[in-house]
Amino acid sequence: MTRRVVITGIGTANPLGMTVEESWQGLLAGKSGIRPIFIFDASTFPTTFAAQVADFDLADYVRNPDEFTRAGRNVRFAMAAGRRAMEDAGLLEAQVDTDRFGIYLGSGEGVLDFQTLVHSIAVGLNDSGSVDTVRFAQAGLQRYDAFSELEQEPNMPANHLAHEYGLRGPAYSCLTACAASTQALGEALDLIRTGRADLMLSGGTHSMIHPLGVTGFNLLTAISTEPKDEPWRASRPFDRDRGGFVLGEGSTIMILEELEHAQARGARLWAELVGFGTSADAYRMTDIHPEGRGPAAAMQMALDDAGVRPADVDYISAHGTGTQENDRVETLTIKLVFGDEAYKTPVSSVKSALGHLIAAAGATELMTCVLAIRDQVLPPTLNLDTPDPECDLDYIPHTARQAEVEVCLSNSFGFGGQNDCLVVRRFVP
């Protein structure tokens, strides 16, 4: 018999807040976390805004803040979200077998020492425009250290969390870009189902709001550049005038737990994670397959794994990036999988308020599904002023909506053609 898996803890650090409730109430109120970039001077960049996490005191979330002096923003966010999740699950003092407690995070690159990189290039640059690698290396070695190099590794958030809480079970990190935290949660689900763990700390963390990250997405023409004077209007999923996604950052982490294990220790059960689907487009590195074959396969697999029909799904949390291609193809994909039910099923994209948290996006969006089930209310798609005729589903424009919510599907589609979907439902004994 397949072991059932429930969510017993949730923690987050995102552009709308440092707690689950603050973030959720902000979403329902139509607030936006998108503002001018304050992490670095972006005044001369094509894109001058992003969805950033406000300053917080890491000392509130870790035993020894001195261990994190070289850590990147992704690690700091993960430590905050991880602490909140452990606390929420009642695990800070609980006696559990940590050999059976694993960790699986979606993540990306770590701390980026942009100043040292620029300095090293400047020192090593020849008059011809080429770089003298000897001078480049010498300049870098004078200003860099081994621990900073170590913190660039994308598995550092998982390693720091494992060390902080003594988690000695399965430990994984995945780097599948925008789908990473959804993939991490899905594979953590399978680890518990198959008996390799009883608990998993899982989700994602990421920050790409730095000069190279913003420049790279500008070159791909993937991120929005307007309106600079009203940045909160820049993320416009499914709108005819959408101009790309808004870069975000943050972390959301959940505690997944085998049902009987959770019940034995009297844990609060947020919801049950019941389905996971994953596929590859095998098409292009930046573009989704125009017929949605990869996303459709992942969505159908998740529904089949959960044992639910399209008619059973009360809400779809869309990947909904706000790019022309993604929103059109995701709409097509929902129609392919849901048939006539597509027009009866509410859909929204919380990226319109949170921005695109890249490797943390999927876990954050699954969190909103869990809260929608709890409160029987669906979060809106902001800035959907002029619907695209090709995007003709029920996208819950502008304001939250009361609804009967028992089952939700959450979509995440990553660069390179990675597609991952999760199904979560109200826990029923």
Domain range summary for the chain, segments of one domain joined by +: 5-112+152-425, 114-147
Q: Which residues contact 236 (CB under 8 A, 6 or more apart)?
A: 224, 242, 243, 322, 352, 383, 384, 385
Rounded to whole angstroms, the Cα distance separating 96 from 70 reads: 31
Kindly state the percentage of the chain with pLDDT values over 90: 83
Cβ atoms within 10 Å of 116's Cβ, excluding its own: 17
Give CA–CA dist 150/68, Å, rounded: 12
Which 3 state secondary structure label does DSSP give 81? Answer: helix
Stretch 261-288: mean pLDDT, rounded? 93
The per-residue pLDDT for 113 is 64
Question: By percentage, how much of the chain surpasses pLDDT 70?
Answer: 97
- Residues 116-131 have a mean pLDDT of 83
Which pLDDT does position 2 carry in this prediction?
84
pLDDT at residue 119 tops 80: no
Tens digit of pLDDT for each residue in 166-208? Answer: 999 999 999 999 999 999 999 999 999 999 999 999 999 999 9
* pLDDT on residue 114: 66
Alpha helices in 323-360 (DSSP H): 324-338, 351-354
Q: Is the pLDDT of residue 63 over 60?
A: yes
Residue 146 has pLDDT above 60, yes or no: no
pTM: 0.95
CATH of region 5-112+152-425: 3.40.47.10
Burial string for 331-357 (b: 16+ CB within 10 Å, else e) reads bbbbbbbbeeebeebbbbbbbbbbbbb
Burial class (CB in 10 A: 0-12, 13-18, 19+), 69: exposed
Mean pLDDT to the nearest integer, 142-151: 65
Q: What is the pLDDT of residue 265?
A: 97
Which of 319, 369, 408, 421 is catalytic? The answer is 319
Look up 319 and say whether it is catalytic.
Answer: yes
pLDDT at position 116 is 72
Please give the mean pLDDT across all residues of the chain: 94
What is the pLDDT averaged over residues 399-413? Answer: 98
- Whether 391 is a known active-site residue: answer no
Tell me, what's the pLDDT at 350? 98
For 5-43, letters b (16+ CB in 10 Å) and e give bbbbbbbbbbbbbbbbeebbebbbebbbbbeebeeeebe
* The predicted structure's pLDDT at residue 396: 98
Among 160, 356, 391, 421, the active-site one is 356
Which listed residue (174, 178, 391, 408) is catalytic? 178
